């Protein structure tokens, strides 16, 4: 089997030879008539679940984690940070064990897992900033507790999202940074001083900026403006058309600049499912026909129901950026944040797709992870 196309970032015509399900050769060719683009496999640093599999239920198994990741390969996501959200100590332990065991069971799954994203439980208890996280499990930073989780995770926790206004948060951030963990601010009601203190301590990212917030906030100052204006902070953005209106997504990308932005899906188990009422993080949530997920009876969003490729499409449509720039936000940028760009190059990790500029649509042809062909549209 051979694929031909052009590399997205430098427009080089290439031919990819596949035999026995693995890449045997990638070579430059003089020219190609193919309309296929070849780009790095997508990187999603915030995935709570997908295709009916939820990382944050007590019944999650290593097999569930493996199946979820394989489903993500089928939509172009080759790398991810499985995301464990606010829960009981034992509940978080169970999720961490399932992820670690999945990596032990399958080397290709391990290749795809860049690290674990711990989103909570050290977040704001206020309605709005807390989002869909269960109030009964929100608490203050506890280094001993975190170390127990990191031991269970075999050192794989690489991102922690927290609220910097929590008592003890600043020294906690310093310890995380000293241990090589990316600290992200999110689900927060922080003051300007809290945010600056976190930055001074080494915080590097704003998790899904503009979300995990009150429905109504002071015009200015507020914690969104403070993070948006902080050049030291990167911003992850959920560009699904619901979490950020198009004009807001465009404005944030321009304010932060593309060098300090990246895309995340924030996908929950409902991504890939039919509209209806479901359970997430112990709460009833509704997936609407428009692929919007809300806490039942409220206007608060509860994760997204899209895959990362849709965020790329929407970024081109909403922010008037190029396809190359949008793909970079979901590949090179998150790898840069995690200081893991070499992972894209150590083995062949690619997607092949066609782009419909009139519909802003990615039509995925194939996904290659660790030099293995893990998805081919014609084989489905």
DSSP state of 181: P
DSSP state of 267: B
Angle at 190 between CA 269 and CA 132, to 5 degrees: 20
Stated length of the chain: 380
- Secondary structure letter of residue 214 according to DSSP: -
| pLDDT at residue number 297 | 84
Order of strands across the sheet that contains 283-287? 276-280, 283-287, 293-295
In order of start, what are the domains of the chain with their CATH numbers?
A: 41-343 (3.20.20.140)
Rounded distance between C-alpha atoms, residue 266 and residue 302, angstroms: 9
What's the confidence (pLDDT) of residue 283? 78
Question: Per-10-residue mean pLDDT for the chain, 380 residues long?
Answer: 96 97 96 96 97 94 98 98 98 98 98 98 96 95 98 98 98 98 98 98 98 94 98 97 96 98 95 86 82 84 89 98 98 95 79 98 98 92
Q: State the pTM of this model.
A: 0.96
Write down the pLDDT at residue 281: 64
Q: In this predicted structure, what is the pLDDT of residue 346? A: 66
């Amino acid at each position: 089997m051979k694929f031909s196309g052009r590399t997205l970032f430098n427009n080089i015509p290439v031919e990819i030879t596949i035999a026995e399900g693995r890449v045997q050769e990638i070579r430059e060719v003089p020219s190609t008539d193919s309309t296929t683009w070849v780009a790095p496999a997508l990187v999603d640093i915030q995935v709570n679940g997908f295709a009916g599999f939820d990382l944050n239920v007590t019944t999650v198994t290593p097999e569930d984690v493996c199946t979820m990741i394989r489903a993500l390969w089928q939509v172009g996501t080759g790398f991810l940070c499985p995301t464990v959200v606010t829960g009981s100590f034992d509940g978080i332990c169970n999720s961490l064990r399932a992820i670690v065991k999945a990596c032990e069971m399958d080397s290709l799954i391990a290749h795809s897992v860049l690290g674990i994203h711990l989103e909570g439980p050290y977040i704001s208890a206020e309605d709005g900033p807390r989002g869909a996280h269960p109030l009964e499990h929100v608490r203050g930073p506890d280094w001993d507790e975190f170390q127990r989780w990191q031991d269970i995770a075999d050192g794989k926790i690489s991102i922690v999202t927290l609220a910097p206004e929590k008592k003890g948060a600043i020294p906690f951030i310093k310890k995380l940074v000293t241990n090589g963990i990316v600290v992200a601010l999110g689900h927060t009601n922080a003051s300007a001083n809290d945010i600056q203190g976190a930055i001074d301590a080494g915080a590097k990212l704003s998790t899904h900026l503009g979300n995990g917030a009150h429905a109504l906030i002071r015009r200015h100052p507020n914690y969104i403006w403070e993070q948006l204006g902080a050049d030291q902070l990167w911003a992850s953005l959920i560009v699904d058309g619901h979490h950020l209106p198009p004009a807001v997504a465009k404005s944030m990308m321009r304010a932060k600049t593309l060098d300090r932005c990246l895309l995340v899906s924030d996908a929950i188990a409902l991504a890939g499912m039919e509209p209806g009422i479901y359970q997430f993080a112990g709460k009833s949530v509704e997936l609407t026909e428009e692929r919007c997920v809300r806490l039942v009876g409220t206007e608060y969003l509860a994760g997204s129901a899209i895959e990362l490729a849709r965020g790329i499409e929407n970024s081109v449509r909403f922010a008037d950026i190029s396809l190359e720039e949008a793909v970079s936000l979901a590949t090179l940028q998150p790898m840069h944040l995690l200081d893991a760009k070499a992972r894209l190059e150590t083995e062949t990790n690619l997607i092949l797709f066609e782009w419909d500029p009139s519909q802003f649509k990615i039509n995925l042809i194939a996904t290659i992870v660790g030099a293995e062909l893990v998805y081919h549209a014609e084989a489905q």
